[in-house]
Amino acid sequence: MRRNDLIMLVVVFASMAVAVMEPTLGTPFQPLLLYFMMMLLFLSFLRIDFGALLETSFPSLRRLGILCTIKLLVLPVGLYWLALMIVPDYAIPVLLLSGISTGVVAPFMAGLMEADGATVLRMVIVTTVLVPFSLPGLVKLLVGAEIAIPLGAMVRMLAQIIFLPMVAVLIGRRLCPGVLQTILHWQFPFSMILFALVNLAVFSRYSSFFFRHPGQILMSVAIAYVLSVLYYLAAFALTPREERSQRLAAGVSLAILNNVLVIVFSSEFFGPLAPTLAAMYMFPFFTMVVPVKLVAARIEKHTAQRTGTS
C-alpha cells in the first residue's frame, strides 16, 4: 500500500466518523455537495486527454456498448433477482443502486487507480444520458412502480457537473497553463480535502439513523461491500485480454456509482432502505480503491509470468 493510499483511507474514515459523531459540523456543507463533485472533476480533468473522447474505432465503441449494457441492464436485473432470493427487503434498493449511472467523480477515481480516464468519462456521459429511460423502465417492469427521473433535470445536472469543469480546464490550458500545473502539483491534498467535505455532507444527514437503527446500518454496509465486489468482478470478467488500465476503467465504470443521486430521488418514492443503502455505499466507494489496485497488479504480474513461460 502506497503512502497516498493510506492517507486516503485515514481521511475517508475519519471524516465519516466526525460526520456521524458531530453532525452539526457537516450540516453547512450539505447544500454544497454538487460543487464539491464539480471541483473533484476539475482536478481529474487536469490529466485527461479530451481528444480520446472522440475516438470512434470499432473496438472503442464495442467496449462502450458492452459496458453500458452490463451497467444499465444486466447487473441491475441480475442482482435484483439475486437480492429477491436472499435479502428480499433490499431487492429494490439493490436495483436502484445497481441501475444508476456511472458516478460523476468516477474520472477522478480512475486517476487514483491509474485507469484509463477517457473510457470512464465516456461511460459517465453516456450512462447519465440513458439512465432517465433505463432505470424507470426497469423499476416499472420488475417492481410495477413508477418513478420519474426528469430528462431535463438530468441533462442540466450533466452539463453543470461535467461540462463546466471540462470547459474550465480547456480554457485554463490555453490561457494559464502554469496555474493548472501548480494546481496539478497539489492535486492530491486538494482531493483529500474535498473527499472529507463530501463525507461530512453525506453522513451528517444519517447521524441519528446510525444510533437509532444500527442493525440496518450494518446490513446496508455489508450489502454495499458485496455489491462493490460483484461490480469489480463483473468488470474483470468482461475484460480478460485487456491491458490493466482498461480493466480498471471497466471496474471504475461499473462500481463507482451516482449513489448521491439515488439518495436524493429514492427517498421520495421508496422507504428508508434505498437511500440508506445508497449512503452506505460511500464505504466501498472509497475503500475498495486500494484492494482493487492490488488485485489488478497481481493479475497483471501473473499474466506476464504465464506469458513469459509459455
Question: Which pLDDT score, from 0 to 100, does residue 151 have?
Answer: 54
Q: Is the pLDDT of residue 16 over 60?
A: yes
Residue 306 pLDDT greater than 90, yes or no = no
How much is the mean pLDDT over the chain? 84
**CB neighbours of 196 closer than 8 A, spacing ≥ 6?**
11, 12, 14, 15
Mean pLDDT of 284-304: 77
In the structure, what pLDDT confidence band is assigned to residue 97 with cuts at 50, 70 and 90?
Answer: very high
Provide the pLDDT confidence category of residue 81 given band limits of 50, 70 and 90. Answer: very high
Name the most confidently modeled range: 51-60, 77-86, 143-152, 235-244: 77-86
Closest alpha carbon to 40 in 231, 204, 223, 168: 168
Specify the pLDDT at position 309. Answer: 54
At 79 the pLDDT is: 96
The rounded distance, in Å, linking the Cα atoms of 47 and 40 is 12
Contact 74, 133 (CB under 8 A): no
Judged against a pLDDT cut of 80, whether residue 271 lies above it is answered with no
Query: In the prediction, which pLDDT does 157 show?
Result: 66
The one-letter code for the residue type at 159 is A
- What's the average model confidence in pLDDT over 94-119? 86
Cell of 292: 482493487
Q: Which domains does the chain have, with CATH numbers?
A: 32-304 (1.20.1530.20)
Work out the percent of the chain whose per-residue pLDDT is above 90.
Answer: 28
Least-confidence region, from 27-36, 40-49, 138-147: 138-147
What SS3 string covers the chain?
CCHHHHHHHHHHHHHHHHHHHCHHHCHHHHHHHHHHHHHHHHHHHCCCCHHHHHCCCHHHHHHHHHHHHHHHHHHHHHHHHHHHHHCHHHHHHHHHHHHCCECCCHHHHHHHCCCCHHHHHHHHHHHHHHHHHHHHHHHHHHCCCCCCCCHHHHHHHHHHHHHHHHHHHHHHHHHCHHHHHHHHHCHHHHHHHHHHHHHHHHHHHHHHHHHHCHHHHHHHHHHHHHHHHHHHHHHHHHCCCCCHHHHHHHHHHHHCECHHHHHHHHHHHCCCHHHHHHHHCHHHHHHCHHHHHHHHHHHHHHHHHHHHHC
The band of 38, judged by pLDDT with boundaries at 50, 70 and 90, is confident
